[in-house]
Structure 1
């Protein structure tokens, strides 16, 4: 079987699919990806639980007999991608000569890459009876993931916190992530409401992060289907399937106290830039101390032992309640502010033990909330 494809299109598909190749696996075959040449073009498949990615390159070949279609060929993913990356721009010819050899021709070069029968590769998981079916614009889904993914826990001590909690009632989609110090939540209206019953699931954070990287900033949309064990995201030429995490996610409704002691409205970008400068001298732990100076400004203070200290004031647009004096992790706060990306921000403070709440101005059909646990200091 033989097919011709552009070097740029093939490289994009390889790089996209290779995101599901595990860095290490007890099964050597998972270091490869499945290549299938068929009547509709090329299909690339890689990964196993928890994440599988399939990419299709559509090059219709109606003259190809159906009996020539098979399970494909498993080739070394990294080697295949490295070869295509070094090829000159232009057409690339792929030919599967038998069940164990792939020929790659471009320009005056010919590569012969050994592989194995695709029948030996683990079968991709399938959705059973879907309990969730909805569609979202790519730009909306990508933005939602970016707003919460940074708060996913990197520690396996509590595996459930390595995931993103998702909930849909058919009209809205809500994403939540927390590492028990930071909390991020975003909600967006679904433009094409679904009549599926309310759905909750915990999706591995790595899968969500990889999905956000692959979504294009275009007018396309992503179709989301899920059952009790699997969630699948399909957009244009790519399908990402992911095994769900199982367990009890921390209750999120009781995290925010009823009434804040102080509220500050600030410019998000100005606060971000000021905290980034203060953390340069905030010492081990990135401890930043914030206190109100007047109704017009708040001061940020950082200090590093035997290095120096820094103080910078940030303008306040509005203030309500009593003054505030509190310490927090500057790096964690900058992660929150970068996720918000501009506009104005309402900071709410409760007490020295309560969380710091950050709520950006709601956009059309969407809203977000962030919480950060303060740091106890002697101040």
Structure 2
């Protein structure tokens, strides 16, 4: 390993570390993967962390004001200790040097810390998926991030059916669709892609990895490049790269689960309903909230024995069909409503034991959410 000499500001380095730490597994059986790979190139400093499923890489370009590379080279440092050391330094420049074999000397102000590192040659390299790529797209950061967040929370956390722990990505006819379900709830989000790709693609991305990728994307008007390979997917935006393994298998078709008709449809203000459901869920035993629709409002009821109960109401903008009553998991409904980016939400009652349908009023074809009702005595 070559000797490294780098000057970098605390803020620039912490920004990079905040991102890559999401891929560090503290209890990984491979010690090298509990570390962060620090690599100094002639014109940039690259921080990389990886676990068995996801790799995150953050680049700090050389600009002479926040980072300067005087000698290139690399080392792997223990992630937790390295982050805590950097975080506790005062603002200003931090200096890295590797004079001794696998020892990183970190200097800032009057402080000097020597940290034992690991050989960067043992750190897994980022797989090149360009050669096997089957799809390459460019998508607005804010649109991609919000779309992922709308569906990823509906992915299963149980390993009983591994494919359901993932989010299905489907590309066809200039439309990109994300689908997730855990068997109780289902979320689907479709976005139009302007830069047309030639191939139709179907891939399953681990839900946790996809959600981490969404959190890294900023909300500014920048673009994310998405490259899908045979067994990997990569997101690149603003000097950050997230690469994830794909889940093998076939995602179940959702067409048979989506109700083709409905008994009743109501439209109400999204924020008003969300606030009311959040209040009702506080005292909802096992998160069960009872929703009763009358001609002018939705009544929300919940209770926990020996603690108390909640009665709340939400006015309706429109109602078509019969009055109805249904019991749902309030926490699931809250997760969905937080993701509905529309002033008004459309709710469809399709039967006492059929999925309850939630869609944004403005563009119902863009998003679809289903929740399976809970059977109660009343």
Task: Tell me the TM-score normalised to structure 1 length.
Answer: 0.93
Matched residue, 1:368: 367
Paired with 1:282 and 1:2, the residues of 2 have a C-alpha distance of: 58
Secondary structure of 2:99's aligned partner:
strand
Secondary structure of 1:22's aligned partner:
coil
Secondary structure of 1:151's aligned partner:
coil
Paired with 1:82 and 1:310, the residues of 2 have a C-alpha distance of: 45
Q: CA deviation at 1:110?
A: 1.1
Matched residue, 1:44: 47
Matched residue, 2:122: 120
Paired with 2:187 and 2:202, the residues of 1 have a C-alpha distance of: 17
Whether 1:55 aligns to 2:61 is no
Alignment of 1:326-337 (within 5 A): 326-337=326-337
Paired with 2:63 and 2:309, the residues of 1 have a C-alpha distance of: 65
Secondary structure of 2:13's aligned partner:
helix
Is the contact between residue 261 and residue 322 of structure 1 (CA under 8 Å) also seen in structure 2? yes
Q: CA deviation at 1:241?
A: 0.8
Alignment of 1:1-379 (within 5 A): 1-59=4-62, 69-70=72-73, 72-127=74-129, 128-169=131-172, 171-191=174-194, 193-283=195-285, 285-293=286-294, 295-363=295-363, 367-379=366-378
Q: Please list the CA deviations of residues 133-154 of structure 1 after superposition, one character each: whole Å capped at 9, or x if unmatched.
A: 0001111111111111211112
Cα distance change on mapping 1:291 and 1:60 into 2, 3 Å = closer
Over 6 Å off, 4+ runs: none
Unaligned runs of 5+ in 2: none
Q: CA deviation at 1:280?
A: 2.4
Q: CA deviation at 1:41?
A: 2.0
Is the contact between residue 5 and residue 69 of structure 2 (CA under 8 Å) also seen in structure 1? no
- Matched pairs, number: 371
Q: CA deviation at 1:96?
A: 2.2
Paired with 1:64 and 1:239, the residues of 2 have a C-alpha distance of: 21
Cα distance change on mapping 1:372 and 1:64 into 2, 3 Å = closer
Cα distance change on mapping 1:342 and 1:194 into 2, 3 Å = closer
Secondary structure of 1:160's aligned partner:
helix
Is the contact between residue 152 and residue 167 of structure 2 (CA under 8 Å) also seen in structure 1? yes
Is the contact between residue 62 and residue 69 of structure 2 (CA under 8 Å) also seen in structure 1? no
Is the contact between residue 40 and residue 69 of structure 2 (CA under 8 Å) also seen in structure 1? no
Secondary structure of 1:231's aligned partner:
strand
Is the contact between residue 266 and residue 345 of structure 1 (CA under 8 Å) also seen in structure 2? yes
Q: CA deviation at 1:55?
A: 1.2
Is the contact between residue 74 and residue 117 of structure 1 (CA under 8 Å) also seen in structure 2? yes
Is the contact between residue 133 and residue 196 of structure 1 (CA under 8 Å) also seen in structure 2? no
Q: CA deviation at 1:103?
A: 1.4
Paired with 2:113 and 2:8, the residues of 1 have a C-alpha distance of: 15
Paired with 1:312 and 1:115, the residues of 2 have a C-alpha distance of: 58
Q: CA deviation at 1:175?
A: 0.8
Q: Please list the CA deviations of residues 85-139 of structure 1 after superposition, one character each: whole Å capped at 9, or x if unmatched.
A: 1111111111122441111111111111111220011222220321010001111
Q: Please list the CA deviations of residues 10-58 of structure 1 after superposition, one character each: whole Å capped at 9, or x if unmatched.
A: 1111121111111321111111111111201211111033101111111
Q: CA deviation at 1:297?
A: 1.4
Paired with 2:371 and 2:142, the residues of 1 have a C-alpha distance of: 27
Q: Please list the CA deviations of residues 184-241 of structure 1 after superposition, one character each: whole Å capped at 9, or x if unmatched.
A: 11111123x2323111111111111111121112122110111110001111211111
Paired with 2:228 and 2:215, the residues of 1 have a C-alpha distance of: 21
Unaligned runs of 5+ in 1: none
- Tell me whether 164-173 or 263-272 shows the greater mean CA deviation: 164-173
Is the contact between residue 48 and residue 124 of structure 1 (CA under 8 Å) also seen in structure 2? no
Root-mean-square deviation (Å): 1.9
- Tell me whether 207-216 or 298-307 shows the greater mean CA deviation: 298-307
Is the contact between residue 41 and residue 69 of structure 2 (CA under 8 Å) also seen in structure 1? yes
Paired with 1:148 and 1:334, the residues of 2 have a C-alpha distance of: 13
